[in-house]
Amino acid sequence: MTLENVPANFRIPWQRLRRLHLRIRREETLQLLEKCAKDLAVHADDHPCRLKLACLVLHLPWPTRDVDISEYHHGLVIRASHALATLLTSLRLRSLHITGITGWPEQACVPKNDTLEHLRIQWLDSPITTPTAHISLPDVHRLLSQFPKLDRFELEGRQLLGLVDGHWLLAQQSAVPSPGEFAIYEPNLSSLVQYIRFTTILFFTFRPQPLPTEEPGIREFRWTRSSKEEDFVFSRWTIYEG
């Protein structure tokens, strides 16, 4: 089920819903996410065992504004974080996809969910800062630490115009970098992989900002393992879409 612009009196059929796709195009439609959160909280209290929703997809492309843009942008993130936290508290989700996230401020409410297995994040540049050079590891940690059953994490950085994480790996001809060189030339990405190694995650993918000379296709790095006691195995992929 996809919701974008709906009447104020619309009621979501929570008992039958298995997948919900919310697209927040502007500030006014952020109220839809907040409405869904409040509606679901009430429904979960009345029918705690009847919810079947397993997958939630959120598109949160924050707009720009000329006046008080910093306060405006910060307020949108805070509002969305509280609504998302309310949604996740009421659901036994297996999969969560968030497109358009610009970070997760320390002041924002961190969503928690004990059943989530798959998290996919597409990071965008914030309209109030210079282009992002590195993925914010504290922001990633704030999110990952709240999902104790997570086994798959996909991180998309192709829309971060200034991102340099992954560029050294892209330039290498060898399929598997040595651990020492990876730590030296990709310190931010290496730290993220090292952190994920001590979590429950078994499958981690990262799509970097492409190099100017890249050929067609989406470059993807993968770190996979069969159990959390094992070390990750690195591989590189080229994905062709359409």
pLDDT at position 68 over 50: no
Q: What is the pLDDT of residue 123?
A: 83
SS3 134: coil
What's the domain count of the chain? 1
Rounded mean pLDDT of 201-219?
Answer: 86
Q: How far is CA 110 from CA 15, 162, 224, in A?
A: 26, 26, 26
Share of the chain above pLDDT 90, in %: 30
pLDDT confidence of 200, banded at 50, 70, 90? Answer: very high
Contact partners, residue 195, CB within 8 Å, separation at least 6: 137, 141, 144
Rounded mean pLDDT of 133-151?
Answer: 89
Q: What is the pLDDT of residue 36?
A: 77
Q: What is the pLDDT of residue 66?
A: 42
Q: Which domain holds residue 34?
A: 2-239
pLDDT confidence of 18, banded at 50, 70, 90? Answer: confident
pLDDT confidence of 69, banded at 50, 70, 90? Answer: very low
The pair of structure tokens assigned to 110 is: 């961190």
Q: What is the pLDDT of residue 47?
A: 61
Q: What is the pLDDT of residue 109?
A: 76
